[in-house]
A = this chain, B = another copy of it.
Amino acid sequence: MKIAIAGKGGVGKTTLAGLLARSFAAEGKHVLAIDADPDANLASALGIPAGRYAHLQPFSHMKDLAKERTGADSGYGGLFILNPKVDDLPDAFCVEHAGVRLLLMGTVEHGGTGCVCPEHTLLRSLMKHLLLERRDLVIMDMEAGIEHLGRSTAEAVDLLIVVVEPGQRSIQTTRQIEKLAADIGIKKIAYVGSKIKSQEDKAFLASALPAEKMLGYLSLNETIRDADRTGAAPYDIGGDFLEELLAIKTRLLDYAG
């Protein structure tokens, strides 16, 4: 299954992506986690020590590797095996931790050099052609907001999860994402409520969004906030939210069919 996680900035996309990836890996799934945000920080949410990913090459550098190996500037084509499996991805672009392989899309390396469309194009192509086995799971953490839907980066996913916090602005973004995702033919969309402080927060989200698509809720948690300060992964620290996560996973598998 291929899953993408989207939503307004700061709602908890990366936290959810990290929790789902680590939790599915812990039960034996082969998880490929893709950081599709140029402002990348999924690695730390997965609990990968900084020293292990500081020099990880982003996937967008595949073009350089192709040139080096073939001596020709033939674009990405030469390096792409038709319909590659997760294990076919070159080690230079992956780091593995606790059963999760991480791939970085790529970023803005120098100011003024343009947008990250080439990086998105390569990733869209990979997502389209990647062949998954039954135990494989791909979790892609998207950039904040909606621009990736202009670029159709996630068009080949089986499920798009929109993370939503109890506020008008986050709900506005969620509605916009849902509309744009329909434009590019993404069939299954679900929500996860995030930063929940009270029953009122849940009721607020429930009144704004259809219940059948709500996979569950993650409470606002000081542990998760502190984890970001120490640079630790929420999954490693643990807390009540791990039970909420289990409920979300159960509902997710059921919903995605």
* Cβ–Cβ < 8 Å partners of A179 in chain B: 111
How near does chain B come to A124, taking the closest CB pair, in angstroms? 10
Please tell me if the beta carbons of A112 and B152 are within 8 angstroms of each other in the complex: yes
Contacts A10-B10, A228-B168, A228-B169; A145 near B38 (Cβ below 8 A): yes
Please tell me if the beta carbons of A147 and B116 are within 8 angstroms of each other in the complex: yes
Interface size, chain A (Cβ < 8 Å): 52
Docked CA distance A110–B10 (Å) = 24
Interface assignment of A115: CB less than 8 Å from any CB of chain B? yes
Please tell me if the beta carbons of B145 and A37 are within 8 angstroms of each other in the complex: yes
* Cβ–Cβ < 8 Å partners of A151 in chain B: 112, 114-115
Stretch at the interface among A22-30, A67-75, A131-139, A181-189: A181-189
Please tell me if the beta carbons of B112 and A155 are within 8 angstroms of each other in the complex: yes
Contacts A8-B10, A169-B44; A39 near B229 (Cβ below 8 A): no
How near does chain B come to A191, taking the closest CB pair, in angstroms? 16
8 A Cβ contacts from A43-89 to B: 44-45
Interface assignment of A231: CB less than 8 Å from any CB of chain B? yes
| This chain: copies in complex | 2
Please tell me if the beta carbons of A173 and B112 are within 8 angstroms of each other in the complex: no
Nearest neighbor of A170 in chain B, beta-carbon distance: B228
Q: Mark A157-191, 1 if CB is under 8 A from B, else 0.
A: 00000000011111011001001111110000000
* Cβ–Cβ < 8 Å partners of A37 in chain B: 145
Docked CA distance A8–B117 (Å) = 20
Give the most central of A8, A169, A179: most B CB within 10 Å: A169
Docked CA distance A38–B151 (Å) = 13
Nearest neighbor of A228 in chain B, beta-carbon distance: B167
Partner of A38, one of B146, B166, B181: B146
Docked CA distance A179–B39 (Å) = 13
Contacts A168-B228, A231-B168; A39 near B176 (Cβ below 8 A): yes
Please tell me if the beta carbons of A150 and B111 are within 8 angstroms of each other in the complex: yes
Docked CA distance A181–B111 (Å) = 6
Nearest 4 interchain pairs by C-beta:
A10-B10, A9-B9, A111-B183, A39-B145
26 contacts between A and B (CB under 8 A): A8-B39, A38-B147, A39-B145, A39-B146, A39-B147, A39-B173, A41-B173, A44-B168, A45-B169, A107-B176, A108-B150, A110-B180, A111-B179, A111-B181, A111-B184, A112-B152, A112-B155, A114-B117, A114-B150, A114-B151, A115-B115, A116-B147, A116-B150, A167-B225, A168-B228, A204-B229
